[in-house]
Structures are given as C-alpha cells and as structure tokens.
C-alpha cells in the first residue's frame, strides 16, 4: 500500500488489508465515458479476468474459491491473476485494449485512475450493501462513488503486556489522551526499550494530525489544508515525544527495526501504532504477548487512519454487467467473513464489521476505528507530493521544522490539485 505498510514487510501488511500501493498508470486514458451504464457486449457466458495483489497462497486460494463459486452458479468462467507487481501490470493493462475486468484498486490511487478514465463508476449500483460511511467517502472522487470497498484496516495502539505489567501499569492506565500516552510511554522507556515506536511516514504520524482536528485535504477534497493549526499541533506532539526520548521511528531503535511490529517483537518497543496486519508478527515472534486498544484521543477527539482497496472495474471492460454481479457476490457478509478467516482482512460493510468484531474480539479496537477513521488522500497525481513530504517527515527525530514541511506540502499540494 502504501507507504502505510512497513518497508520490507509488504506481504505481511497485505495479508491483513489486501491493500497495495499502485504506481501511476501510463497511457493516455480512454475516450469512453467511465460513468456509462454497465454493459455486456458478449453473448452467452463470458470469461472474466480478475487481477489481484496477493499476500500469499491463502489470499490467492480464497479469491479463486470465491470467484469459482460465482462462476459455477452463473455459467461464466473467471481467471484470477496474482500479479507480481500490481502497479506495473495494471499500468500496462490500462494502456492495452484488454485490461482485466476486475482488479484491486488502492484508495490512494482512486483519483489517478479515475481521472485517467480507467475506472467504471459503478458504486451507486452496490451502495445498498451497507458499507461503512468512511469507506464510501474514501472511494468517492469528484462526487462519484466509484467502486465497492473490499475490506479495510485501521490503526490502533498495541501494548506489550509483559512490559506493561512489569512497569506496574494496569488496565486503568490505558491511555485515553495525549497526556496519559506520554505518561505511560515515560514509564515504559528504559535502556534500549522505547515507550512508543512507529514507522516514519504520514501513515502513522498522520493519526496525530487527525486527533488534533486536521488533515492534508478538506473533507470535500477541494482544498489543501496541510499548514493548518491542527496539522501543526499533531506533528508537534510527535516531535515533543521524540525530544523526550519516549517515541522513536523504527529505523532509529537499537538495533534498527523495519516497522513497529518488528520493534515490539524484538523487545525494543513497549508500544507501537499499527494496523491489524500486526497479527502476522506472531509468526516471527511466537512468544510476543500484546494487547490492542484504540488510539488515545487528541484535542479534537478520537482519530485514526484507514487503509483499503476496492474492487475496481475497467472502463474498457466488455463484461461490466457480469463484473458487477461478481462484485455483489464478493461483498456479502458471508463471503467477506470467509476472506477474514482465510487471510485476516476486515469486512467493509457495517454488518460484516460487527460479525468480525464478534468472532475476533481481540481486534475490536481496529473495527471501532472504522467509525471515525480518515482515509488516504485520493487526489490524482498526489504521489510525488506525498513522497517528498514523507522524506522530510522521516527526519523528524533529527530535528527540523515540521511547520516548514507542512507549508511546502501546502504549496506543492495546491499546485497538484490545480494541475
């Protein structure tokens, strides 16, 4: 996905969210209307092609089983392609005359794909599924709900319970605001153990911006709001804890680690901020014991970040009606729970999210975050702007002026929005 996933553990993160960072697609787009009614220009049974970015055999096999059941019921056939590089392969496919009918689409790429004319805007045909409102907003671009969210993940606070108990802390000390987060982080910081360890980009520190009441863009997506007072306050809180030595980026721990899950697994972090893909860390660190709670609230209240993929349908597909019918079978609560059981993703509908929380109570904090989570910036051509900002943010622990970085992000983001 993401810049949201820890570097070097893409497969682990994808196992929980199925989300990928897709490169901007090449080609000049399409001359057709991406908002035209779904069409089927093929007579009789058709063959659909589905391209996914898979975390491994469990995900690939689960998708094949799901589409296979639909194919058997409808008389159509479906080929599932597990891309080795989804961004590159989608870019090549969009430039051809035969892109896959259905494919994973990362939320941060929605605007880029939509503006290029690569996506069919079919969201209104599946909106009755009862998706989480935050996910509908995430996959809405230029006023159009483009595609059905396939799953989601949010950030929560993971606590090493052994370290917590050793420090004399109890459930009564679970942080509810920034002040109590600082207090427990200080108690947990000792020697090579840092109270909080997070990854070094907007996809972790951005949660503090949201808790302060800000974000990179306005709710309607029409204005860049990066240099707002709340955004400055959010990063100021992160830098404050860094200066006090109670928060570090994963790369700055001793020994250096690749992401929060590795840091807490290796015992150099007492707490981290990660998504539900952290469950995969148990494979590498079987003795790790941790508890998941919602992130503490900031001055403006609760705030977390949301990551998701949708089921994108190609504007060039000749089998759009069948593709939509397949999507409808993939977003039922029953099918989404099968995906959850197979490779850990959380269902995208309100009914599915409740079923997931009931079956997996240890992940309830991730589900709760879906009610107030902030999705990624989905504006077209915004990748380069965010890459520059993330490179600056990665140096936060070495000093620097985050307000100046936000001002530059404001300038560059406004230019990208206008262009």
We find that the CATH architecture of domain 156-294+381-418 is 3-Layer(aba) Sandwich (3.40)
What is the mean pLDDT of the segment spanning 151-165? Answer: 97
Q: Which pLDDT does position 300 carry in this prediction?
A: 98
pLDDT at residue 5 tops 70? no
Beta carbons within 8 Å of 22's beta carbon, 6+ residues apart: 86, 87, 90, 105, 106, 109, 113
Contact call for residues 327 and 161 (beta carbons, < 8 A): no
Token pair of 143 as six digits: 């006023």
Cβ density class 235-257: b for 16+ within 10 Å, e for less:
bebbbebbeeebbbbbbbbeeeb
In this prediction, residue 314 has a pLDDT band, given cuts at 50, 70 and 90, of very high
pLDDT at residue 20 tops 50? no
What is the mean pLDDT of the segment spanning 211-215? Answer: 98
Q: Which pLDDT does position 220 carry in this prediction?
A: 87
Domain residue extents for the chain: 10-153+307-374, 156-294+381-418
What is the mean pLDDT of the segment spanning 253-261? Answer: 96
pLDDT at residue 353 tops 80? yes
Pair type for strands 102-106 and 47-52: parallel
Would you call the peptide bond into 255 cis, given omega within 30 degrees of 0 as the criterion? yes
Q: Which pLDDT does position 40 carry in this prediction?
A: 54
Q: pTM (2 decimals)?
A: 0.86
Token pair of 18 as six digits: 């199925």
What is the mean pLDDT of the segment spanning 233-259? Answer: 97
What is the mean pLDDT of the segment spanning 296-321? Answer: 97
Q: Which pLDDT does position 236 carry in this prediction?
A: 97
Q: Which pLDDT does position 400 carry in this prediction?
A: 87
What is the mean pLDDT of the segment spanning 209-229? Answer: 95
Q: Which pLDDT does position 23 carry in this prediction?
A: 31
Q: What is the pLDDT of residues 135-147, one digit of tens each?
A: 999 999 999 999 9
CATH (residue range 10-153+307-374): 3.40.190.10
Q: Which pLDDT does position 344 carry in this prediction?
A: 87
Beta carbons within 8 Å of 150's beta carbon, 6+ residues apart: 18, 104, 308, 309, 310, 311, 330, 331, 345, 348
Please tell me which residue, 24 or 61, carries the higher pLDDT value: 61
Please tell me which residue, 300 or 8, carries the higher pLDDT value: 300
Q: What is the pLDDT of residues 184-205, one digit of tens each?
A: 999 999 999 999 999 999 999 9
pLDDT at residue 10 tops 60? no
Please tell me which residue, 322 or 91, carries the higher pLDDT value: 322
Q: What is the pLDDT of residues 265-296, one digit of tens each?
A: 999 999 999 999 898 888 889 999 999 999 99
């Amino acid at each position: 996905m993401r810049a949201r996933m820890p570097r070097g553990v893409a497969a682990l993160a994808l196992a929980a969210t199925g989300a990928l960072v897709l490169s901007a697609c090449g080609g000049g787009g399409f001359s057709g209307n991406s908002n035209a009614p779904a069409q089927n220009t093929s007579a009789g049974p058709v063959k659909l092609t589905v391209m996914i970015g898979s975390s491994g055999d469990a995900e690939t096999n689960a998708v094949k089983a799901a589409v296979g059941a639909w194919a058997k019921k409808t008389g159509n056939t479906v080929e599932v392609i597990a891309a080795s590089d989804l961004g590159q392969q989608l870019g090549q496919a969009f430039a051809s005359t035969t892109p896959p009918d259905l494919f994973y689409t990362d939320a941060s790429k929605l605007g880029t794909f939509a503006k290029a004319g690569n996506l069919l805007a079919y969201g209104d045909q599946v909106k009755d599924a009862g998706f989480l409102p935050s996910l509908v907003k995430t996959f809405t671009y230029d006023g159009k709900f483009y595609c059905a969210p396939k799953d989601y993940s949010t950030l929560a606070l993971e606590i090493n319970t052994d370290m917590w108990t050793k420090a004399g802390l109890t459930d009564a000390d679970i942080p509810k605001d920034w002040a109590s987060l600082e207090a427990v982080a200080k108690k947990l910081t000792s020697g090579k153990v840092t109270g909080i360890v997070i990854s070094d980009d907007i996809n972790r520190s951005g949660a503090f911006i949201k808790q302060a009441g800000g974000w990179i863009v306005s709710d309607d997506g029409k204005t860049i709001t990066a240099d707002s007072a709340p955004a400055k306050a959010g990063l100021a809180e992160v830098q404050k804890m860094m200066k006090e030595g109670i928060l570090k980026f994963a790369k700055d721990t001793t020994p250096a680690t690749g992401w929060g899950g590795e840091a807490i697994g290796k015992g150099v972090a007492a707490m981290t901020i990660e998504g539900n893909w952290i469950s995969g860390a148990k494979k590498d660190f079987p003795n790790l014991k941790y508890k998941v709670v919602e992130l503490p609230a900031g001055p403006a209240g609760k705030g977390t970040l949301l990551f998701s993929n949708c089921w994108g349908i190609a504007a060039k597909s000749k089998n759009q009606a069948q593709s939509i019918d397949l999507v409808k079978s993939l977003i039922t609560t029953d099918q989404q729970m099968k995906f959850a059981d197979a490779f850990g993703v959380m269902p995208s509908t309100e009914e599915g999210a409740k079923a997931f929380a009931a079956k997996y109570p240890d992940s309830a904090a991730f589900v709760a975050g879906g009610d107030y989570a902030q999705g990624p910036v989905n504006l077209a051509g915004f990748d380069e702007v965010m890459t520059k900002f993330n490179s600056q943010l990665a140096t936060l622990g070495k000093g620097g002026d985050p307000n100046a970085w936000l001002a530059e992000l404001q300038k560059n983001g406004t230019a990208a929005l206008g262009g």
